[in-house]
Structure 1
């Protein structure tokens, strides 16, 4: 895995050493000699990861990290603090300043590269979400501070040692509700049940914690769940293996309560950031296929689904029928009640369409007051029956226009069944011709299309 890494240290010898090690692993390296230069380089170079020294003149690493995480253009970049400081207060302060990890010199190369690869894998996932996002939505997400936890989260602790598990649970932030499991099977089930974080004790002799982590990453329901692993000090092979399996972070025994709280908070903040990105992406995808006024599908989406249904039908699949519905005298509704009144009618029409059709039918606003409904698995008789029910539903009661006003509305509908080898364009044209016939025959009626061969 190649990536661009920014090395920040005021000691040239340290910079050259880290640069040589990283380049030997085929990483692209850029450097900065102090915090001010680091922030500018991060904005300009957009590295994939920052290795940040703590003890620097002018502005130390803690303040540099805070500023990086406050800046929308750089807060998504993972920061690993690298320092000779080894007191618990230093580690906690580093994590609380926004660092994704805290490594103490001298750094074991194997551990360093395992941590780097782990953070780069996570950033790749987040970058994919960010790049798929629309620019407006992404700007909104990136402008939101990741900040402190402000709502309840749920953590699951899995350890074969009940006393240790209780200590881990006691070290959780106040807004974290913790479930303790001593059996990996029930622990895995608990992790699947809407957990926000999983803590796995790899020192438990009663089960293989690494195998459990591998199962969690292999399960689609828990693949994105953050994992914090507890390991014995000096157990570098287990630490490296855990990180390579997809564990997000590790903490050594004896577990310090303050460090546990800081690392848990970091993982939960990162998860909520990823969740916001996924939510924004889902909303953007929904907007791309949905008419914003009625909530029905839009023209582009229904055209795609119609082609799919007809391709299946032409290849020996179930029949497919199409309805085109047009609200009668809609211009008069707009003229009399204004465009706001017209919008009420369109939304009310969409609600009745969704209420009266089958669950597998696909309805879309095709343009203006015209709607298209695709009915997979339906022949012409069934399509005509559905059209009559919809027509009767529209005419049965007035539409609420707000402010105590209402309007009587009717609809004309043309329906057609796809024939062998027929194109979607031909089917739409025949249904549209049937719609115009319904209009010509007095409106508020249903007409079925003639055969394509007629």
Structure 2
């Protein structure tokens, strides 16, 4: 591009080449001529990927920065604690190159904080550990903590840069794939609604509820120990367990409810027009059904439990669909942290409901008598017609009249 006395040409990443013409001509043995001079100017670095270099040695940091300069914008920190604060505050950092041995917070500890952070962008951030010596023990520990790559200092800066470039290419590809999936209405594998679509469903339900003065309830369910299940049985088997659970759940929902994926081994149910107490009742029914179920996988009987988080409007004072989903998700995680196999409803009490005879038998088979005891009077009343038929057809002498009298007397005393 020509601008006045300057010509701007593209150059290698991070720089632009400027050819400038001076205002006056100069002379030379060949006669008057124009002299052009070249200037390499640093470009606007805002478009470059930002990398965080962490090392307590300033010499090492300078060496890395010299190699990174031009292709990346670089931030540097001298210890792990300062690096952590930078990562939390600076959303533009695309990758970390960190030394292993550092004061305040070493490379392992920094990596662990990043991978266990509640910030999703940090959980998947490319992280390269650089160590003076590479041992199998160090490599295994780094891998267990979720390192993206592990490089020895003897490999040199060129090797570090090559691996960094490869990681960023993979990360970009994964981000594009994830973005495409988020725009889908249905998950291509399970056929369930995606989280993005669920958020739209919640927004529509909240808008309708505000106009008509009704409730919207949301339930987020997650398998307890889903990650360890994947490690034990394999990721594909764990996903198949999740899909079978989703089919079971879909069979128990109303037609107007929406079921979709919330996360790995996690699902959400949107229930328009459902009061929180009735949503809590349904959640308990699902939780108990999963607890007593026995699933056979690869010849093994797998015991499963779920933790459930509930949220609703207008009971919970949230103003957006995303906030309602996040609240239900936070309550599910709180239930998991409290030991799992429980429902966190934010103080909502489930509506009173009888249990079926079949469910009572399943609870007894699972050695959960205490869950059946409160329902015994209701179960006994429903068994009376069966007991009369047994007396008639099988010649038994079950004390039906006496049982009926005692149940009636108990009911009167309770009233």
The TM tier, using the shorter chain, reads 0.3 to 0.5
What's the TM-score, normalizing by structure 2? 0.37
- Say which structure, 1 or 2, has more relative contact order (CA 8 Å, 6+ apart): 1
